[in-house]
Amino acid sequence: MRRPGRDAGQVSVEFLGMTPLILITLVVVWQCVLVGYTFTLAGNAADEAVRAGTAASPGERQGACRQAGLRNLPGAWRGDAAVDCTTGGGYVRAEVGLKVPVLFPGALAFPFTVRGHAGAVEEARD
């Protein structure tokens, strides 16, 4: 025979036991979102940089390329960003390196760099 009320509160105990696992899962998912967003930002910044580099005159190419690569980056990613533009053989290449933030953009960053690459043919000047 079973007495009623012996397992009262069992759901609360099980929920408290699962809470740390739920929180850890949310933190890991959020960090994955930040890594993916950083890859997206690096690729977009490289595209913007090379687009500006192809349209600029040869003397202004480096400055225009770097400025365009940094223009649309959020402030938390802009601080450690590295934009490198090279030309050769009628081709402009841009590489953007960004640090991946740990949990909160603008605080700490992982010790590795996410890189975005882009290239385009120089525009003809008449």
Per-domain residue ranges of the chain = 10-121
CB-based contacts of 62: which residues, under 8 Å, 6+ apart?
53, 85
17-30 pLDDT, tens digit per residue, is 888 999 999 999 99
**Predicted confidence band of residue 46 (pLDDT cuts 50, 70, 90):** very high
Q: Which amino acid appears at position 37 of this protein?
A: Y
Predicted TM-score (pTM) of the model is 0.78
**Predicted confidence band of residue 69 (pLDDT cuts 50, 70, 90):** confident
Answer yes or no: are the C-beta atoms of 31 and 103 closer than 8 Å. yes
Which position has the token pair 């882009």?
A: 118
89, exposed or middle or buried, with CB in 10 Å at 0-12, 13-18, 19+? exposed
Does residue 4 register a pLDDT over 70?
Answer: no
Answer yes or no: are the C-beta atoms of 110 and 118 closer than 8 Å. no
Return the sign of the alpha-carbon dihedral for residues 40, 115, 100, 79. negative
Give the separation between CA 45 and CA 66, rounded to whole angstroms.
Answer: 9
Which carries the bigger pLDDT value, residue 124 or residue 118? 118
Q: Where are the alpha helices (DSSP H) in the chain?
A: 10-55, 61-71, 75-78
